[in-house]
């Protein structure tokens, strides 16, 4: 197995531009080039945003699993994103800074750190490069000048606009739904086409933004869409392998990136061979949205004592192109499922001691330089026919447009298969987890025990209350028993009455 030779089933990926899955072939087999639209850092990421990065991480791990190294760039949007994807509303960063009485730079630094912390907690691999928008303003100005020189822009009082009629097939990515999106675009006085968008937003006379730069079009700030065209092309080339984002980006942001790329290069090329989009995480009431407030964060999940990897597992239980409904019950079920996997892993590890292959695997895991191909070779060398067949099935599921909801049960199946030895089970777990990223060889069952940080009662005190309730029930004082149950519920503890004994759990109300 070498880095340049992909293994197993051909990798099929769904491309939103052609609306079909097709076999993935990297432009350069020595390095797959992947760009993911990053967060706008004016607030915490909500669980929906994080679903986008669990998807990207699964894609990246799958590419590694198939034998390709990946050059992965994620941007940080710290300027220019308005409260609507079209050119209306306030600058999100400026508005957040005013509200918090902080500078934009402070806001950006704080939420960038929080975002990176969330990714680490979800065992998401760090990108090869974090690319920060405000570090690339001069690149953006130079890029916009090229677009201007190509005759694909025009100036209005409030800035430089992209003329979408100058590129072939504008909005192809959005497809039928594009018309709907177009309808949401505000009319800016003088725009030639409704879909035209700002490349440069000139500051109004007398207005001083916290973040503004001089440009050939006056002082101001870049339009939001510009940064991704500029940074992806700068670091990955004018036509790279895969560009990712949530499906909201399919409607406007990525259509505009493609238009900019086409005008800049003077070709019909979109900039990426595959445009891939994850579907939404939805709350019962509808899509989670950062700008609407009241959304669930990973910090909120952790405060309820739920291990963050339970949220990763919840994401893996749905295909990335399907909507996923978030509920406390679904999260609790994911935690239970993760606990079973971790328990199995722990038992297998305790039994195995440290065989040579595991020592080599763990060492290579710790050294960032080792390739996944090497790790797979170390682990999979000791698999018998049955285990190998299961692994081939796992590979096929993963290779079929990242069908993780089908791949994950194969691990569970392997763990309960009596015809597969304990050593093989541990090997399967190790290799499959390279793709799943659930950290199954590290996390211990004790780490998964729920300990809500916002609880006002200790476990000992709960046990004491339950003993008192048991006594009340024995004395047939049901009123007292109910009072104790209700008092516990008010403090976030659910009591489950079983035959003979009473069990309890923390109530999960995210
Ligand atoms: P933003 O910080 O708003 O630019 O969003 C960061 C990423 O999260 C983008 O790729 C969005 O498309 C994606 N995203 C936003 N909301 C959701 C959601 N509810 N579910 C899944 N992905 C989302
Ligand atoms: Zn982007």
Determine which residue's CA is closest to atom 6 belonging to ligand 1: 39
Q: Which atom of ligand 1 is nearest to the CA of 246?
A: 12
Degrees (nearest 5) of the Cα angle 421, 422, 424?
A: 65
CA of 332 to the centre of ligand 2 (A): 33
Greater confidence (176 vs 67) lies with 67
Greater confidence (27 vs 287) lies with 27
The residues that bridge with 131 in the sheet, in sequence order, are: 75
User: CATH 1.20.120 residue ranges in the chain?
Assistant: 304-446
pTM above 0.85, yes or no: yes
Burial of 263 (C-beta count, 10 Å sphere; 0-12/13-18/19+):
buried
Looking at residue 428, what is its pLDDT?
98
Average pLDDT over residues 40-67: 96
The arrangement of strands across the sheet holding 70-76 comes to 129-132, 70-76, 32-36, 240-246, 272-278
Average pLDDT over residues 182-191: 67
CA of 64 to the centre of ligand 1 (A): 24
CATH number for 31-292 (one of 3.40.50.620, 3.30.1280.10, 2.60.40.10, 3.40.50.2000): it is 3.40.50.620
CA distances from 392 to 15, 65, 385, 397 (A): 24, 12, 10, 9
Average pLDDT over residues 36-61: 96
Q: Which atom of ligand 1 is nearest to the CA of 245?
A: 10
User: CATH 3.40.50.620 residue ranges in the chain?
Assistant: 31-292
Give the phi and the psi of residue 297 in degrees, each rounded to 5.
-115, 170
Looking at residue 285, what is its pLDDT?
65
Q: Which tens digits make up the pLDDT trace of 457-505?
A: 999 999 999 999 999 999 999 999 999 999 999 999 999 887 666 688 8
Report the Cα–Cα distance between both ends of the chain, in Å, rounded. 45
Determine which residue's CA is closest to atom 17 belonging to ligand 1: 48
CATH number of 304-446: 1.20.120
Looking at residue 6, what is its pLDDT?
59
- What span, in angstroms and rounded, lies between the C-alpha atoms of 158 and 151? 19
Q: Which atom of ligand 1 is nearest to the CA of 81?
A: 4
> Mean pLDDT across the chain, nearest whole number?
91
Q: Which atom of ligand 1 is nearest to the CA of 41?
A: 2
Of the bound ligands, which one is closest to the alpha carbon of residue 224?
A: 2
Of the bound ligands, which one is closest to the alpha carbon of residue 78?
A: 1
- What span, in angstroms and rounded, lies between the C-alpha atoms of 451 and 462? 13
Report whether pLDDT(177) > 50: no
Q: Which tens digits make up the pLDDT trace of 426-454?
A: 999 999 999 999 999 999 999 999 888 88
CA distances from 443 to 50, 335, 344, 411 (A): 21, 13, 11, 17
Degrees (nearest 5) of the Cα angle 288, 294, 297?
A: 70
Report whether pLDDT(78) > 50: yes
Report whether pLDDT(264) > 80: yes
- In the numeric block, which tokens belong to residue 306? 């739920």
Report whether pLDDT(314) > 80: yes
Looking at residue 161, what is its pLDDT?
97
Q: Which atom of ligand 1 is nearest to the CA of 39?
A: 2
Task: Give the count of alpha carbons within 13 A of 427, CB side only.
Answer: 23
CA of 243 to the centre of ligand 2 (A): 9
Q: Which residues line ligand 1 (CB under 6 A)?
A: 37, 39-40, 48-49, 51-52, 245-246, 248-249, 278, 280-281, 287-288, 290
Highest mean pLDDT pick, 82-86, 120-124, 220-224: 120-124
Helix (H) or strand (E) holding 78: none
CA of 29 to the centre of ligand 2 (A): 25
Most informative mutation of 44, 48, 108, 320 for ligand 1 (most atoms within 8 A of CB): 48
Q: Which residues contact 493 (CB under 8 A, 6 or more apart)?
A: 457, 462, 504, 505, 506, 507
- How does 79-96 read in b/e, with b if 16+ C-beta sit within 10 Å? bbbbeebbbeeebbbbbb
Looking at residue 228, what is its pLDDT?
98
- In the numeric block, which tokens belong to residue 198? 């700002």
């Amino acid at each position: 197995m070498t880095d340049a030779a992909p293994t197993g089933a051909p990798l099929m990926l769904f491309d939103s531009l052609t609306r079909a899955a097709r076999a993935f072939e990297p432009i350069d087999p020595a390095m797959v080039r992947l760009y993911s639209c990053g967060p706008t850092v004016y607030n915490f990421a909500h669980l929906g945003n994080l679903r986008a990065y669990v998807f990207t991480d699964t894609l990246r791990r799958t590419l590694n699993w198939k034998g390709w190294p990946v050059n992965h760039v994620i941007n940080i949007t710290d300027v220019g994103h308005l409260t609507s994807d079209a050119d209306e509303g306030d600058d999100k960063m400026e508005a957040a800074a005013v509200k918090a009485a902080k500078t934009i730079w402070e806001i950006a630094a704080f939420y960038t750190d929080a975002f990176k912390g969330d990714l680490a907690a979800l065992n998401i691999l760090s990108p090869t490069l974090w690319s920060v928008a405000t570090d690339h303003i001069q690149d953006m100005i130079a890029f916009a000048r090229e677009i201007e020189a190509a005759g694909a822009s025009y100036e209005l009082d409030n800035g430089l606009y992209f003329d979408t009629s100058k590129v072939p097939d504008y909005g192809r990515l959005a497809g039928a739904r594009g018309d709907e999106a177009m309808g949401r675009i505000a009319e800016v006085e003088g725009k030639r086409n409704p879909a035209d968008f700002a490349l440069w937003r000139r500051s109004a006379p007398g207005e001083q933004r916290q973040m503004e730069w001089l440009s050939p079009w006056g002082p101001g700030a870049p339009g939001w869409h510009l940064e991704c065209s500029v940074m992806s092309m700068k670091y990955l080339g004018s036509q790279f392998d895969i560009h990712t984002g949530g499906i909201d980006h399919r409607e406007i942001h990525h259509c505009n990136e493609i238009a900019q790329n086409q005008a800049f290069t003077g070709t019909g090329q979109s900039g990426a061979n595959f445009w891939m989009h994850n579907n939404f995480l939805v709350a019962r009431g509808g899509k989670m949205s950062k700008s609407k407030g009241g959304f669930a964060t990973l910090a909120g999940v952790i405060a309820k004592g739920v291990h963050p990897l339970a949220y990763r597992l919840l994401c893996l239980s749905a295909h990335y192109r399907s909507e996923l409904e978030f509920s406390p019950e679904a999260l609790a079920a994911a935690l239970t499922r993760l606990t079973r996997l971790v328990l199995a892993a722990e038992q297998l590890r305790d039994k195995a001691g440290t065989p040579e292959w595991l020592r080599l695997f763990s060492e290579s895991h710790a050294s960032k330089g080792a390739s996944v191909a090497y790790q797979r070779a170390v682990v999979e060398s000791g698999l018998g026919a049955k285990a190998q067949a299961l692994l081939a099935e796992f590979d096929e599921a993963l290779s079929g447009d990242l069908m993780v909801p089908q791949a994950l049960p194969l691990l569970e199946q392997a763990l309960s298969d009596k015809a597969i030895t304990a050593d093989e089970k541990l090997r399967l777990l190790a290799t499959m987890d390279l793709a799943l990223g659930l950290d199954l060889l590290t996390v211990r069952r004790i780490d998964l025990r729920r300990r809500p940080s916002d609880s006002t009662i200790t476990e000992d005190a709960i046990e004491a209350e339950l003993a008192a309730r048991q006594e009340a029930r024995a004395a047939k004082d049901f009123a007292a028993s109910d009072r104790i149950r209700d008092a516990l519920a008010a403090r976030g503890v659910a009591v489950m009455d079983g035959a003979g004994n009473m069990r309890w759990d923390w109530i999960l109300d995210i």
